[in-house]
Amino acid sequence: MMLDRDLQSVQEVRQCLAQATGAQKQLQAMSQSQIDQIVQGMAETARSEAGRLAALAVEETGYGRIADKTVKNLFAANDVYQSIKDKKTVGIIRRDEQKRVWEIAQPVGVIAGIVPSTNPTSTVIFKALISVKAGNAIVFSPHPQAAKCTKEAAALMQAAAERAGAPAGLISCITEPTLAASQELMRHSKTDVILATGGTAMVKAAYSSGKPAYGVGPGNVPVYIHASADIGRAIRQTIQSKTFDYGTICASEQALVIDKSIKRKVIAELKQQGAYFLDDHERKRVATIILKAGGLNPAIVGKSPQAIAELAGILVPEDAKLLIAEESEIGMAYPFSIEKLAPILALYTASDTAEASSICTRLLELGGLGHTIGLHCEDTQVIERFVLDKPASRIVVNSGTTFGGIGATTGIAPSLTLACGSYGNNVTSDNIGPEHLFNIKRVAFGLREMELSSTPVVATPATSSAAPSAISRDEIAEIIKSVLLELQSTNR
């Protein structure tokens, strides 16, 4: 039975969708230059408000660091914007004169934007930019723990869009984030596509809604450090990546898999650069707080190493950047082997590349299929052999997986929605962008006539007798001679 709050939230969703539908029709009638001007205005506002939104997110959720969340907001406002600003998304977007095919972009309509608590404001900026660039309206559904900062980010994007000429109601956010509201948003007839970022249950709900959905999966990211790696650089990039916003990005490293031959050097480098190795007692204490009720304990998400240590009842140095525990087993019974959205790493030792490959694959199968894997290696042949069979959509080589996966330090399309392909039950393995949010119609001109046989073949019915074959002159002569001889014999 629905409570009053549920009913109010459902009604709010319906009002937002009605406004979004009308606004989208107006946006769809605009030119490419008009839409580009709107998107530019949104990006500029996001850039100027990046720090304030980051502070609001940390204050409300308790996850991560203001400085790093500011960087994430700026990544959406700068990197994502730069990657999409010149894309054609209105009218005829491509002409193939040789094949005589034109491609026309048609917006999908109204997007349902599901927002997580770990990256609330950057997700709003990102999804608003790519949705409007593709000619769509978007209604956001915030996580209850991040409702205020999500609403503020959406309001800023709408205000900026309106100043640049967009209609009212193009970008909106639910103010009563209930389960009933989220379900109504995802299932309503006016919702055309879902952009789902959040926990596994939320993504499954999106796929079960009956609507087209772009979801993401968990990112239990393993990273193999091969004997040929530049160890100093590999560790520096790994620590920078894993500790960014205290590990709240799903593409961050979760386990290091290192060659036995370089283990001592890797451990020494990790310690020198600020990693703290847990002893057996500390390891057991931390293990007890990683999981809660069969899943990741939200109390450790986006927290500092010192806060996690306090929660576990242990002490770690004030300058410790992340916690590391050596591990040899993989499975839910071994908490260090799962995805940990916190500055905690597992460390596995492999005797050779084949064993390292097996460990990495098993870690992905445990909870990161289709997402991301990392490799630090200077041997091209090893890289080629290693990457071919990995069930991951992003294979980041010689870069931190957090930044490499989202396209900040690699040539992958900059994005904050990282799909996992069929490995992770997603419809695509791409980094999501505007091109995923419009349909493409194809106008195809005739190039040639269809070639058909000039002499029709008439089939002979199966029941009819075969036509007699032609008889030669000699055969006729032999028949006549035979008949005459027979007559002569009869007259005697």
**Count of beta carbons in the 10 Å neighbourhood of residue 57:** 31
- Whether residue 102 is predicted with pLDDT greater than 50 in this model: the reply is yes
The Cα–Cα gap between 114 and 138 comes to: 10
Active site residue 360: no
What is the per-residue pLDDT across 7-35, written as a single tens digit (0 to 9) for each? Answer: 999 999 999 999 999 999 999 999 999 99
pLDDT-based confidence at residue 464 (cuts at 50, 70, 90): very low
| CB 24 within 8 Å of CB 35 | no
When pLDDT is cut at 50, 70 and 90, the band that residue 475 belongs to is confident
Over residues 337-365, the pLDDT tens digits come to 999 999 999 999 999 999 999 999 999 99
Which listed residue (16, 149, 173, 250) is catalytic? 250
Total residues found in the chain within this entry: 492
Distance in angstroms (rounded) separating the CA atoms of residues 431 and 128: 16
Least confident of 184-188, 206-210, 378-382: 206-210
Write down the pLDDT at residue 469. 59
pLDDT attached to residue 3: 64
pLDDT-wise least confident of 50-59, 204-213, 265-274, 436-445: 204-213
**Res 74: pLDDT:** 98
Nearest-angstrom CA–CA distance, 121 and 123? 5
Domains and CATH numbers, the chain: 4-216+433-443 (3.40.605.10), 221-407 (3.40.309.10)
Instruction: Place 458 in a pLDDT band, splitting at 50, 70 and 90.
Output: low
Identify residue 4 by its one-letter amino acid code: D
Q: What is the mean pLDDT of the chain?
A: 93
Copy the structure tokens of residue 83. Answer: 């990657």
pLDDT at 294: 85
Quote the percentage of the chain above a pLDDT of 90: 85
For the ranges 162-176, 219-233, 323-337, 474-488, the lowest mean pLDDT is seen at: 474-488
Which residues have a Cβ under 8 Å from the Cβ of 73 and sit 6 or more positions away? 46, 49, 50, 51, 53, 54, 121, 122, 125
Banded model confidence at residue 202, pLDDT cuts 50, 70, 90: confident
The per-residue pLDDT for 130 is 98
Query: Of residues 476 and 305, which shows the higher confidence score?
Result: 305
Which candidate, 332, 292, 327, places its Cα nearest to that of 312?
Answer: 292
The confidence band for 455, taking pLDDT boundaries of 50, 70 and 90, is low
What percentage of the chain reaches a pLDDT higher than 70? Answer: 94
pLDDT score for 461: 55
Per-residue confidence at 199, pLDDT binned at 50, 70, 90?
Answer: confident
Angle at 122 between CA 121 and CA 127, to 5 degrees: 100
pLDDT at 49: 98
Q: Which of 205-219, 232-246, 415-429 reaches the highest mean pLDDT?
A: 232-246
- Give the tens place of pLDDT for each residue, 217-234: 889 999 999 999 999 999
